[in-house]
Every structure is written in structure tokens, then in C-alpha cells.
Amino acid sequence: MEKLRNIAIIAHVDHGKTTLVDEMLRQSGVYRENQEIVERVMDSGDLERERGITILAKNTSVRYGDVKINIVDTPGHADFGGEVERILKMVNGVILLVDAAEGTMPQTRFVLSRALELGHRVIVVLNKIDRPDQRIHEVIDEILELLIDLDATDEQLDSPMLFCSGRRGTASYSPEVEGEDLKPLFETILEYIPAPEGDETAPFQMLVSSIDYNEFVGRIAIGRIERGTLRQNQEIAVCNYHAPDSRARRAKAVTMYEYEGLSHVTVTTASAGNIIAVSGIGDINIGDTICALDAPEPLPFVQISAPTMEMTFSVNNSPFAGREGKFVTSRQLRDRLFRETLKDVSLQVSELQGAMDSFSVRGRGEMHFSILIETMRREGYEFQVSPPRVLFKDVDGSKCEPVERVVADVPQGAVGAVIEKLSSRKGQLLDILPVGSRSRAVFLVPARGLFGYRNEFLTDTGGEGIMSSVFERYEPYKGEISRRINGSLIAFETGESVTYGLFNAQERGALFIGAGVPVYAGMIVGVSAKGEDMSVNVCKTKHLTNMRASGSDEALRLVPPRQLSLEQCLEFLADDELLEVTPKNLRLRKSILDHGLRMKNLKGNKN
């Protein structure tokens, strides 16, 4: 096992994990000389490549000399923290990547605390040292303070520190010396990260930390072999530590793969310490243990942080239902949502009592939900979702809510506006410090207070602000927070929007649609300039008379409509509104479409 190392790369979002893995693959000789190299090759999903973020943890391996290094590239966004938590069980050490300009951020603290709890060795890598605004020495102090703050052991405090440029593919032991390649990083991994331990002669045992899916072979279980050896077509037992009453079930390891570079290599035997993928085991789940038949001893699985938000997913019941989607029934929606929980351990799905076609989906944040919604949309699903809601908790008899640690990196002129806005949303300012020509403010803000704020934040900072947040803890309920000050512009009748109707409607606010768009009564077509909802007739045409021809007012000028992204739609939603999601369109609507019923319901609520 001395010829094997298992490591994970952990960091805050956009600190350069995937780019560094690219260079490690290139310099270890994974690519052929004439092979075309794709940037961020580990971000294989369409959404990952479009958004420039890692969503799912990926496995790969490189060879340095005669040592095989298994590498797991993990997500940096806080909403996918569940991926990081379970992946850490597969490895023996971590590379903590920190941006030399941004320094330690909320997710840096989260992922490092999880690694330290498991007793992993840490190699600290200051990345992007070639940035003109780098502040290497200040960031070194921040990292040491963070390690002390998280009660790191003496050995962990003495972690080796390297200085890298992932984009250039260089690493060095000193910030004053420019590196030539990644050799110092490979050498440090071999020297400092321990080889996996495990008795190859003991009965086989492996914890399933990840699940892949293939249409041809079904579910593929991924994990690190804790002990023993597994052979192809061997009879095995599947059991679960957290379900001690259930009997272990028999299965067969039909095919086994190891990771070599970017590909899977079929193997006939695999021994303790190796990270492998096994196919042929039906209904295998994350957290299950695969054991030898004569020694079914399950392993405990890491406790994943509980969800802090929920949304309701339901069958689309708008007047346009079923026109654009391939999968529209409640059974199809139910199957798809429950299938997602097999891969995503931090997602929880349950059927709502008394509602046959609605499901409660609980997750870690708005990004978590939006990625799921966008993925389902692209697969051809049609459904509708409610606004996100935070999950309250009863702690010692008092109502508590999730609070996020928010770090806002903003131009100095925008600090006042950011502090004012977050304070009005019950945010508490913890610290403010200069970072070069900018300022960094740290807040504790109720998760509710961040709904709909990101757009305002970008406006207040002239598009130059960077804001990130991570769940901190539950605190007593902070009281009412006003979510949206403007009402909605609501279509009064069903039809197709025309220039004349839109021209009259745009005086009342900003429109989301242009001319020639099919609308239905109760659909939201814009945001009102006032605090209450307004009904507008965007299908209204001009009455013709003998005196005036229909084309005499063709010079009507429309303001270009505001195009909302999926995240902006979710942020916009008020409590009595829904988002209709189809493969072709996103439509905002009132949950009660009929104007008369809506007014009656509003009056009843006020009484």
C-alpha cells in the first residue's frame, strides 16, 4: 500500500481546485502528446461547464513515479457541502486550496473543519499567487488563525504550506521563489499524506461513499476498500450500520473498475486502500457497506448536515400545462425526485399529506434547488415550484431559524449600502477589514434575510461585489423580515401579448415579456412600481374607428423586457406565487389564478 495515496482537494468556490487537477493530470503524463486538452476536464456536466462550478465530486488518479495518487475533486459551493462531507471518508488526507488574494472564506472554514474532525492530514496550498492583488503574507496569517480557531492538533498546525499557480502549473516551497512545475506538490503528497491502512487478508469490507449511474449497468457503488480483497463475480453481503434490524442481503460484484487518469479500467481483483467502483448490485445506496458473506460488519456513515430550506414541487396545473414537457404526471415527478436522493445525500424528499401531486423537497440552499430544477428541466420535466422556505427548529422550547455566515467583498464606496441593507434584513455585522483597495464585511444573517438579496447586492456594488455564505448555526427567531417591497403586474386575461397592451402596462412597472408571448389570466408579466399587485391587460388591442387606421400608432416604443434567470425567478417569488417550469419556458404565476377568488382570499387573510 506504500505505492498508493488517497487525497481530496477542498476549497471555497472558485479558488481553483479543478484547474489545479487539470495541471496535475497533464504533468503526470495522463494525456498523450498530441491529445487535445479540455480545460476544467473534471467539470464534465453541462451545467458545471456553463456555470464554472463543480457540482458533483469526481474521482481521478495520477501516477507520480511508481506511486498511484487517487484524487477527488470536490465542490466549493456551500449548497453542495454534503458531497464534500461524505467524500472525506474515502481519503487519508486533503489539499486545502486558498486563493492568495481572497484568503479564507466561509466554505474554507466549513470544509477544513470537517477534514480536521476526521483527523486528516492537511497540505495547505496558496493558489493564484500570480494575481496582481495577491496578499500572500496576510493570507498565511488568516490560515493559521483559522487552524487555531478550529482547534487543530499540533501536527495539523504544523501542516506543510506550498505556493502555487494552478493556471501556470507551478508550485514552490517559498513565496519568494517562483516554481517551475508541480513537482514540489507531488513530493509533499508522497512524504506527508499517509498511505492507506487495512489488512488485505481480513474479510472484505467497503463503505459506499458515492453512487454513479449508467443506463447499461444501473447503479455503480464507489468507495474505498477498508480491508480485505474483492474479486470479480464474488458473492457479497450488503448491510447498513444505521439500519441494524434489517438483514444483510446477498449480491454479486459483477464488474469492478479502478480510476486510471480520466478513464475507468476494469480489474478482476482489488485490495484494501484502493478506491474502486462496483456495478451489479441493485438498490445500493450511499452509506451502505459491502462485506464478505461470512463477516457482514457494517461501517458507520458520516452524519450529513441537515437541510435548512424546503420547497414544494408539484404537478403543473396552469392553463398551459402539458404543452411543452415530456414528463408531466405526478408519478413521473415522484420517481425523478426520489431518484435524485440516491445520488444526493443532503436532499430529502417526502410526499405532502393530503396532496397527491405535491412533494416537499428539502435541501441546503437556493443554488442546491436551482441546479436540481435546471437539470430536470433539461431532461424534459414540466412542473411548478413554490418559493423557498427556511426550516425552523424547536430548541429548548423556543423557535429557532438557520443563520448564515456571510462574507461580502466590496468596493469601499459600497460598504455603507451593504451594511444598511443587511441590517434591515436582521443581519449582524461581526467584522469589517480592508483588503487591498476593497473592504471585507462579515455578517451573521438569517437565511430568510438573504432571499432576493443577491440582485440588490450586485446593483449596490456596481457588479463588483463578491458575496458568499455558509450555514453557521440555529439562533432564536429574529422577527418579521420584509421580503419584497414591490408588487407584481398580473395578466388580466388569457391571450397573446400585443404592443398596444404592453405599452400601457409598462407605465405601471417593469415588464418581463415582450410582444407575441402567450399569457394566461393570473400569470405574472412584470414587477409593479408600487407596493401592491396590479392587474394589467397586455392582450388589449386598440379599438378601430372610421377616423383612425389600425397602423397609425405603430411608433409605440416598448422598453426591452427584463429577462429573469432561474435563480432570479426563485428570488422574486412572493408567498402566494409559483414558478411554472417547462423545458422551454419559466413562467411566474399567482397560486390562485382567478382574480375574483384571489381578492376574496386576500380579504379573508387580512380579516
Q: What is the structure's pLDDT at 589?
A: 93
Same domain, 181 and 220: no
Query: pLDDT band at 606, cuts 50/70/90?
Result: low
**CATH number, domain at 564?**
2.40.50.250
pLDDT at 583: 93
In a domain, 38, yes or no: yes
81 and 14 co-located in one domain: yes
Q: What is the CATH number of the domain that holds 463?
A: 3.30.70.240
The single-letter DSSP state of residue 531 is S
Task: Give the Cα separation of 462 and 417 in Å (integer).
Answer: 11
Q: Which of 323, 310, 319 has the alpha carbon at shortest distance from 380?
A: 323
Angle at 77 between CA 75 and CA 79, to 5 degrees: 105
Q: What is the pLDDT of residues 104-133, one digit of tens each?
A: 877 778 788 888 888 889 999 898 888 888
* Whether residues 69 and 174 fall in one domain: yes
Q: CA 12 to CA 108: how far, in whole Å?
A: 5
Give the rounded distance of the alpha carbon of 182 from its chain centre: 29
DSSP 391-412: PPEEETTEEEEEEEEEEEEEEG
Note whether 139 and 20 are same-domain residues.
yes
**Residue 354 CA: distances (Å) to CA of 178, 347, 598:** 65, 22, 22
Strand (E) or helix (H) holding 310: strand 309-314
| Whole-structure pTM value | 0.77
pLDDT at 114: 80
Residue 156 lies in a domain: yes
**CATH value at residue 286:** 2.40.30.10
Backbone angles phi, psi at 491, to 5 degrees: -65, 135
Residue 188 grid cell = 509533499
Average pLDDT over residues 319-347: 87
Instruction: Give 363-379 pLDDT, tens digit per residue.
Output: 887 878 888 998 899 99
The DSSP symbol for 299 reads: P
**Torsion sign across C-alpha atoms 125, 9, 364, 242:** negative
Lowest mean pLDDT among 3-12, 46-55, 161-170: 46-55
At 38 the pLDDT is: 44
Query: Residue 533 pLDDT more than 60?
Result: yes
CB 483 within 8 A of CB 574: yes
Instruction: Specify if 157 maps to a domain.
Output: yes
Please, what is the average pLDDT of the chain? 82
What is the tens place of the pLDDT at every residue in 446-503?
988 888 787 788 888 887 888 877 788 899 998 888 777 788 999 988 999 988 888 8
- CATH number of the domain that residue 53 is part of: 3.40.50.300
CA torsion sign for 514, 520, 521, 526 is negative
Clarify whether residues 498 and 599 are in a common domain.
yes
467 and 572 in a single domain? The answer is no
Is residue 342 included in any domain, yes or no? no
* pLDDT score recorded for residue 37: 45
Does residue 470 sit within a domain? yes
Q: Which of 150, 166, 192 lies at the terminal end of a domain, its last residue? A: 192
Element of type H or E holding 566: helix 566-572
Between helices 106-117 and 136-149, what is the axis angle to 10°?
A: 50
C-alpha cell at 326: 415530456
Direct distance between the N- and C-terminal alpha carbons of the chain, in angstroms, rounded to an integer: 72
The pLDDT tens digits of the residues spanning 238-257 come to 888 777 667 778 888 888 88
Give the ranges where 425-524 is alpha helix by DSSP (H). Answer: 453-460, 499-505
Host domain of residue 408: 393-476
72 and 128 fall within a common domain: yes
* Residues 172, 129 share a domain: yes
Rounded Cα distance between 287 and 90, Å, is 12
Q: Is the pLDDT of residue 211 over 90?
A: no
Separation CA 607–CA 596 (nearest Å): 17
Give the 3-state secondary structure of residue 362. Answer: strand
Residue 250 covered by a domain: yes
Same domain, 572 and 516: yes
Query: So what's the pLDDT on residue 546?
Result: 52
Assess if residue 354 is contained within a domain.
no
| % of residues, the chain, pLDDT over 90 | 15
pLDDT of residue 69: 86
Nearest 5°: the CA angle 507, 517, 600 is 65
Strands (E), 215-287: 218-227, 229-231, 235-240, 249-252, 255-260, 263-267, 269-271, 275-279
CA distances from 160 to 98, 173, 189, 192 (A): 14, 9, 10, 8
Q: Which residue among 192, 214, 240 closes a domain?
A: 192
Residues 218 and 169 in one domain: no
pLDDT confidence of 524, banded at 50, 70, 90?
A: very high
Question: In Å, what is the CA distance from 292 to each residue of 273, 274, 295?
Answer: 16, 17, 5
Q: Residue 51 falls within a domain, yes or no?
A: yes
What is the predicted pLDDT for the residue at 314? Answer: 93
78 pLDDT tier (thresholds 50, 70, 90): low
Q: What is the pLDDT of residue 320?
A: 92
Domain count, the chain: 4
- 282-323 pLDDT, tens digit per residue, is 778 778 889 888 888 888 876 667 788 899 999 999 999 889
For residues 209 and 549, give the distance between their C-alpha atoms in angstroms, rounded to a whole number.
Answer: 71
Give the residue carrying C-alpha cell 503524463. 29
Burial of 254 (0-12, 13-18, 19+ CB in 10 A): middle
Residue 426 reports pLDDT greater than 60: yes
Are residues 443 and 532 located together in one domain of the fold?
A: no
Q: How high is the pLDDT of residue 258?
A: 85
Q: Are residues 185 and 36 in the same domain?
A: yes
Amino acid at 219: R
Question: Among residues 274, 292, 310, which one ends one of the domains?
Answer: 292
> pLDDT per residue over 184-205, tens digit each?
888 998 999 888 888 888 888 8
**Distances from the Cα of 142 to the Cαs of 108, 156, 407, 479, 485, in angstroms?**
11, 15, 14, 34, 39
pLDDT at 360: 93
The gap from C-alpha 250 to its chain's centroid, in whole angstroms, comes to 35
For residue 216, the one-letter residue type is: F
135: cell is 496578499
